[in-house]
Amino acid sequence: MKPKYILVVILYFLTMQSCVSLKKFKDLDANYTQLNYLKDSLNYHNSDLELVNSELNDNVFRLSLRSSSLENDTILLGKEFRRKSRAYQGLSSSYEVLMKNNSTTMAKQAKENKELMERLGQMEVDLQERELAIKSREQDVENLNNLLKQKDANLSSLKSSVANALLGFKGEGLSVEQRNGKLYVSLENSLLFASGSWKVNKNGKVAITELSKVLAHQKDLQIMVEGHTDNMPYNGAGLVKDNWDLSVMRATSIVKILTNNKGLNALNITAAGKGPFSPLVENDSPENRAINRRIEIILSPNMDELMNLLE
């Protein structure tokens, strides 16, 4: 209670003292004492409240500072959020573009991969076919080599047989030579014909007959009979007028003797006249011209099987 109110109360009691009884005075005194006690209690309570109020004010101040700090943080966080939100939107747009481009790229890559796989598959098929072709070709080459070896062996055997059959005419202008996959039996005209004649003499008939016996045992053998002359002009009469005619007639005469042997197929025998145009040596001496005047019987194995392999 405030002091001015207390004084008023005291003055009131003093003025009324003369007109109140002792009992009332005592009651008033008791009330006064009680009021003083109440006043002191209120003063203590007021002090407590002022302390609490001071603490509350301090808390309010601290909370105000904290609120300001939080408000500033909120502003900063808001700015950061908006910045990151814009960055997120930019990244999202970029991601969408990237995904779209990536889808296009992946589709293109998938198409290229498919085409590549198809090409690889075709290459594998081609390689397998080529490998089979190579193996087949290797087999053909092996067969070809075997056939060539067999042909050479047959020619060598034929050469020996021909040489043995004509052994009695050795040294009389006879030669047997194997070259270029063929067998060449060369007989000088002196062994077969009289000068300028195409009629085979007795000795020549014996030689050709012996040769035909050997050839009759050969299968699919191609026989070419070539007539050759020197370069000396031949002046004949009738059908035989020059070296061309003479070479043909001599070759034909040999063929007729060969075909007397029924073991030889006439379809495999050919007659040809070369005249003076395939000399063995220069026609510059009587000896060389004698060499060039000859009959060549060229024996060729059947090459059909070899040609089939080569094709």
Indicate the DSSP class of residue 267. G
For tokens 């500033």, the residue is 72
Dist. CA 307–CA 305, nearest whole Å: 5
- By C-alpha distance, which of 147, 158, 157 is closest to 307? 147
Dist. CA 184–CA 162, nearest whole Å: 10
Dist. CA 36–CA 47, nearest whole Å: 16
pLDDT of the residue at 12: 60
For tokens 């996959």, the residue is 181
pLDDT along the chain (311 residues), means of 10: 59 57 76 83 82 80 80 83 84 81 82 86 87 80 75 82 85 87 93 93 94 90 96 86 95 97 94 96 95 95 58 58
Q: How far is CA 300 from CA 72, 73, 155, 176, in A?
A: 116, 113, 9, 14
Reported as type and span, the H/E element at residue 72 is helix 22-165
pLDDT of the residue at 306: 47
Domain-by-domain residue ranges, the chain? 165-310
- By C-alpha distance, which of 299, 150, 152, 304 is closest to 217? 299
For 3, counting Cβ atoms within 10 Å of its Cβ (0-12 exposed, 13-18 middle, 19+ buried), the class is exposed
Taking each helix axis from N to C end, the angle separating 202-215 and 243-258, rounded to the nearest 10 degrees, works out to 60
Sheet of 294-301, strands arranged across: 174-179, 182-188, 294-301, 221-228, 269-275
Bridge partners of residue 174, in order along the sequence: 187
Dist. CA 111–CA 199, nearest whole Å: 85
For 276, counting Cβ atoms within 10 Å of its Cβ (0-12 exposed, 13-18 middle, 19+ buried), the class is buried
CA atoms within a 13 Å half-sphere pointing along the CA-CB vector of 21: 3
Does pTM top 0.75 for this prediction? Answer: no
Dist. CA 113–CA 103, nearest whole Å: 15
Dist. CA 102–CA 251, nearest whole Å: 88
For tokens 């300028």, the residue is 196
Distance of CA 134 to the CA centre of its chain: 17
Give the pair of three-digit tokens for residue 209.
Answer: 């007959």
Dist. CA 132–CA 138, nearest whole Å: 10
Q: Which fold has domain 165-310?
A: 60s Ribosomal Protein L30; Chain: A; (3.30.1330)
Dist. CA 128–CA 108, nearest whole Å: 30
For tokens 């080459």, the residue is 141
Dist. CA 280–CA 184, nearest whole Å: 13
